[in-house]
Amino acid sequence: MSGPIHIQPGETFTLNVGPQHPATHGVLRVKMEMDGEYIVKAETVLGYIHRMHELMGENRTYPQVLPNLSRLDYLGALGYTHGHVLVIERAAGIEVPERAEYIRAITVELNRIASHLFWFGAFVMDLGGFTPLMYAIEDREYILDILEAVTGSRLTYCYYRFGGLYNDVDDDFISATRAFIPRMRKQLKKYDALVTGNIIFRKRLDGIGIIPAEMCRKYGATGPVSRGAGIDFDVRKNEPYSVYSEFDFDTPVYHECDSLARYKVRMDEMEQSLRIIEQGLDKLPDGPIMPKKKPKLIKPPKGDYYQAVETARGSFGIRLVSDGSKNAYRFKLRSPTYSNMSLFDEACEGMLIMDALAMMGSLDLVIPEIDR
């Protein structure tokens, strides 16, 4: 073919965003039917990094699945492993010592802040601002160092065990976390002045990328996406698990439904997570981190078990069907990003492509978690 392509008035063309595209943060492909710069129809194509984690959960023994869960969402891995150990503990009837539960809550919240920080940097980078990413990664580095000293890894943690933890935290962890809280509060104020007030940032997000509450309910969107649409739902508050009922924290909710509301929810959530960490460190009891009586071979009795946890991206649920053997009969993972992303096709119709990509950034997609 030679010469330029002339598009007739009213004619649409197809644009492929991805599978390798900086705005999709992974291997997600969006087929967009475009009318000039306006999106007529969009279709997300999944499955580029499907790894069959659910099937692996069915043909491996229960402890062997432990490392898999942190490979779902590499930014907020601890939340997912937390859900996994909780459902097995519920099924097998293992009691968890209180100290272990508190340490779990503290480390999960630290991980949530790390995840939100990285999202914050990447989201602003999607909109064209590079500098905040550097600041966010510097702060995230503090959290990763704290967690590395305890768990031994930086990203794909395998720290929780059925009944407790891999190893106990030391005084260094407590003093480092205590020092981190005021530092992070200061940094959050800095981000607020640097990014939230920025006129260019606001013009790209304010009133743009509307995801109403009905759409959230229709697709099952949870987490900051639904809280940005005015739905006051947080698994930590509504169905408290672990020791979350003993903490005093708020669920940030905004009613604007736009991309800016979702941004604000996440920024406020970091502050709430800091509050939980502070209370957790104050209340941290002494004691063992593993139960005295622990079955050597984990064989949950026959039954159907479900446990939902609030991860950085929303409500993550595991359904476990046990047939009494040492493998699970069914191991279903309900990942929050999958539902959050499903509404993208409908929400972006009629939008400008740059607004749609800003909205995609505000959904906080982690593709390995969608494909599992």
Partner 1 sequence: MGTYFSDIIRGLWSLLIGLSITFKEFFKPVVTVPYPFKTIKMTERYRGHVELIENDEGKPKCVACGMCQRACPSGCISLASKSVSYEVEVKGEMKTKKKKVLTKYDLDFTTCSLCGQCVESCNFQALTFSKEYNLASSRKEDFHFDLLNRLKERNS
Contacts with partner 1 by CB under 8 A lie at 60, 63-68, 71, 131, 135, 138, 141, 148-153, 156, 158, 161, 166-167, 190, 193-195, 197-200
Quote helix, strand, coil % in the chain, to nearest 5.
50, 15, 35
Nearest residue (CB) to partner 1, 71 versus 227: 71
Beta strands 314-322 and 303-311 are antiparallel
Contacting residues for 225 by C-beta, under 8 A, at least 6 apart:
211, 216, 262, 314, 340, 343, 363, 364
d(CA 221, CA 88): 25
Contacting residues for 282 by C-beta, under 8 A, at least 6 apart:
none
Least Cβ distance, residue 183 to partner 1 (angstroms): 13
d(CA 125, CA 118): 11
d(CA 360, CA 28): 11
Chain center to CA of 225: 11
Contacting residues for 293 by C-beta, under 8 A, at least 6 apart:
none
d(CA 351, CA 356): 6
**Six-digit token pair at 159?**
């720290």
Least Cβ distance, residue 60 to partner 1 (angstroms): 6
**What is 282-332 written as a DSSP string?**
HH---S-SS-SS--SS--PPSEEEEEEEEETTEEEEEEEEE-SSSBEEEEE
